[in-house]
Amino acid sequence: MRILRYGREALLVELAGLGEVTGLHRALSEALPPGVAELVPAARTLLVTYDPAATTHDAVAAVVRGTDVTAATAGRGPLVELPVTYDGPDLEEVARLAGLPADEVARRHAAAEYAVAFCGFAPGFAYLTGGDPALRVPRRSTPRTTVPAGAVGLADEFTGVYPRPSPGGWQLLGTTGAPLWDADRDPPALLAPGTRVRFVP
Amino acid sequence: MIEVLAPGPLTTVQDLGRPGYAHLGVGRSGAADRGSLRLANRLVGNPEAAACLEVTLGGLEVRFAVAATVALTGAPCPVTAGGRAGSVNGPLGVRAGDRLVLGTPGRGLRTYLAVRGGIDVPPVLGSRSTDLLSGLGPGPVAAGDRLRIGGDAHGQPTVDHAPVPVLPGALVLRVLPGPRDDWVTAAARERFVSAEYTVSPQSNRIGVRFDGPALERAGAAELPSEGMVRGAVQVPPDGRPVLFLADHPVTGGYPVIGVVEPGDTDLAAQARPGQSVSFRWGRTLWR
């Protein structure tokens, strides 16, 4: 673990990997240290923002250092099942890259249990980990200018679902009708960090 | 009720934003110049976080259906209310039927119009702010919009005029180094605080882009995306720094070499395209 200064109101915790990020995020969100405002997990880091009128860098850093980041494993969060139809325009391309038949790509994608590592890119866009390593494929070399809402995609070690129409470069495997984002719902995002996810064909 | 006759180049509803949702991919948004929004609200007896109109480069024209007390802060612009000239940084009485007309500011970019009671549009996730990146909140203000006045006032205006420093012509921004200042070369770190940059016309509420000398990366490695903050100075592949403002993305994959002091970020939000800006490493006596 390495703690980096990040201006007057934040610090950045560098961790060994996603497991530690999830562990630290979960531990800190269960008992938010005094003065801490937001926790933003990402692939290798946790951003901690705080109110400098209420606490100090050193106080927040001390709490972070004293937190066990190894105890938590993905899998304790609630389970969300997303109905999916494997009809995506990149299914054949993913099959070619993976060296598998298209129906086997769909079977393996639906067989895994995923966990939300972090969110970003757009409100409610969750980066899901835990997929079959054989389905690890790069982004499309040319992003699409519009990806429809509900599109289920793959990129690198992640799978994800576009909450609303947007540009995007992920390889699209299928479609879900699940409402991923609703600002009038509490919480507004269906998938939050730690949530477990299964795709159900 | 306020009827919008002309919005000018860009007018949005802003308050102090929607903190607490960054882990779901939702940035804070809110006023680009937070200090000016707070002041405008104080001048009319509103809570500091009440919703105002953020007017970019003037040009706003509205008609008040009812009498109101308003205040303008931030970029100082000529103003008339019912044909009478008014002044900025103090409460201003508007009569029922009056047109309030904002000219183009002589300095600065964003003028805040507070109305006693606040602008009452439906809040989204606890905020009335328009987030131009995520699309949350109301759309930009358009001609023909009718904006309700809320009941958010909690006191009487107590001052006639707030003394406010004149916005500087040449801006110097103090930057605290890190977290990724070691991702550019030592020469680039030195150049960053010795060169003069110019505000690019590509700037917006997401960030201020700068034209000027490029900052070279120290290596070819790719940085995994990580959390971003307001005031962060990011170095994209073309080497020209970007300073993140209110609607910045919650995560980003380019190294942040420093974070502009919060008050200086308010000043940066007032920098106009073409204006000259330089950076100084700030006081690093951390607390």
Instruction: Report DSSP letters for chain A, one per residue.
Output: -EEEE-SSSEEEEE-SSHHHHHHHHHHHHHSPPTTEEEEEE-SSEEEEEE-TTT--HHHHHHHHHTS-SSS--TT-SPEEEEE-B---TTHHHHHHHHTS-HHHHHHHHHHS-EEEEEE-SSTT-EEEE---GGG-BPPPSS-EEEE-TTEEEEEBTEEEE-SSSEEE-SEEEEE-----B-TTSSSSBSS-TT-EEEEE-
pLDDT in tens, B93-121: 999 999 999 999 999 999 999 999 999 99
Question: Is the pLDDT reported for residue B274 higher than 60?
Answer: yes
Give CA angle at B28 (B27, B33), nearest 5°. 125
B147 close to B119: Cβ distance less than 8 angstroms: yes
Question: Is the pLDDT reported for residue A181 higher than 80?
Answer: yes
The phi, psi pair for B206, rounded to 5°, reads -75, -45
User: Percent of chain B, pLDDT > 90?
Assistant: 89
Q: Range with the lowest mean pLDDT among A62-71, A125-134, B81-90, B116-125?
A: A62-71
Peptide bond into A187 cis (omega under 30): yes
DSSP chain B: -EEEEEE-SEEEEE-S--TT-GGGT------SSHHHHHHHHHHTT--TT--EEEEESS-EEEEESS-EEEEEEES---EEETTEEE-SSSEEEE-TT-EEEE---SS-SEEEEEETT-EE---BTTB----TTT--SSPPP-TT-EEEE-S---S----S----PPPPSSEEEEEEE-SSGGGB-HHHHHHHHHS-EEE-TT--SSEEEEES----BS-SPPPPPEE--TTEEE--TT---EEE-TT--SEESS-EEEEE-HHHHHHHTTPPTT-EEEEEE------
Q: Which chain B residue has its CA at the smallest distance from A6's CA?
A: B179
Residue with the two structure tokens 């306020």: B2
- pLDDT-derived band at B159, boundaries 50, 70, 90: confident
Question: Is the pLDDT reported for residue B264 higher than 60?
Answer: yes
* Cβ distance of B251 and A121 shorter than 8 Å: yes
In the sheet where B91-94 sits, what is the strand order? B10-14, B52-56, B110-115, B68-74, B91-94
**Residue B157: its pLDDT value, please?**
85
* Cβ distance of B179 and A4 shorter than 8 Å: yes
**Residue B154: its pLDDT value, please?**
83
Question: Is the pLDDT reported for residue A183 higher than 70?
Answer: yes
**Residue B158: its pLDDT value, please?**
82
- Measured between beta carbons, which residues in chain A are less than 8 angstroms from residue B287? 52, 56-57
- pLDDT-derived band at B287, boundaries 50, 70, 90: very low
Distance from CA of A189 to the nearest CA of B (A): 6
Question: Is the pLDDT reported for residue A17 higher than 90?
Answer: no
User: Percent of chain B, pLDDT > 70?
Assistant: 98
The phi, psi pair for B22, rounded to 5°, reads -60, -35
Q: What is the ipTM of this complex?
A: 0.93
Distance from CA of A171 to the nearest CA of B (A): 19
The pLDDT of B17-33, averaged and rounded, is 96
- pLDDT-derived band at A71, boundaries 50, 70, 90: low
- Measured between beta carbons, which residues in chain A are less than 8 angstroms from residue B22? 38, 40, 47, 49
The phi, psi pair for A167, rounded to 5°, reads -65, 155
**Residue B284: its pLDDT value, please?**
57
What tokens were used for A135? Answer: 């389905």
**Residue B190: its pLDDT value, please?**
96
**In this complex, which of A42, A121, A125 lies closest to B226 when CB atoms are compared?**
A42
Question: Is the pLDDT reported for residue B8 higher than 50?
Answer: yes
* Cβ distance of B176 and A8 shorter than 8 Å: yes
Measured in whole angstroms, the distance separating CA B168 from the mean position of its chain's CA atoms is 16
Does residue A75 or residue B261 have the better pLDDT? Answer: B261
Mean model confidence pLDDT for chain A: 93
Question: Is the pLDDT reported for residue B286 higher than 50?
Answer: no
pLDDT in tens, B44-61: 999 999 999 999 999 999
pLDDT in tens, A92-114: 999 999 999 999 999 999 999 99
- Measured between beta carbons, which residues in chain B are less than 8 angstroms from residue A52? 287
pLDDT in tens, B164-209: 999 988 899 999 998 999 999 999 999 999 999 999 999 999 999 9
B110 close to B74: Cβ distance less than 8 angstroms: yes
User: Percent of chain A, pLDDT > 90?
Assistant: 78
pTM confidence score? 0.92
- pLDDT-derived band at A74, boundaries 50, 70, 90: very low
pLDDT in tens, B217-235: 998 888 888 999 999 999 9
